[in-house]
Amino acid sequence: MAATVMTFPQDNMDDDDAAVWERLTRGVKAYEPELPPARPAKSPKAKPKQPRRATVTPSARPLSAGKQASQPIDLRSGEKAGIDGATRRRLAQGQIPIEARLDLHGLTAAQAERRLARFVDQAARTGVRCVLVITGKGSEGKGVLRRLVPLWLKT
């Protein structure tokens, strides 16, 4: 593709036309579009970014026995309490490492509920951001704990 060469009227005018063109364009200023203000240059000695910590809102904190959440959420539907959209996407994409695991295989519902409550409390106290709770499928494929854990977490 050949480069386009711009020609200006005065490039191919005779002297009379050039004089007229000069008089016509004498008071004309070049167009200068309004540009947004330039962003300040980043300092080369910028501090390294600290990893962002997901914050837990009061509605997402575990409640002690006997208290009920004002509006319980359905964790089974994928609704997440106290998690912003960006953190939810990073979590779903596996970009947030699992920091603690709890395996509830072989426990009764009562044992699993107590162990889950202690685990969540300890994780919250120590600043653990992402946990994995393994429920298993139970005998006869009923998945009692799989059904109960989301209910326990929302109360």
* 35 residue type, one letter: L
- Are the beta carbons of 104 and 133 closer than 8 angstroms? yes
Distance from C-alpha of 106 to C-alpha of 23, rounded to nearest angstrom: 96
The pLDDT tens digits of the residues spanning 100-147 come to: 999 998 888 999 999 999 999 999 999 998 899 998 877 777 788 888
Cα distances (angstroms) measured from residue 129 to each of 93, 110, 124, 125: 15, 25, 8, 11
- pLDDT band at 6; cut points 50, 70, 90: low
The pLDDT tens digits of the residues spanning 45-101 come to: 655 555 554 444 444 444 444 444 445 555 544 556 677 888 888 888 888 899 999
pLDDT at position 18: 82
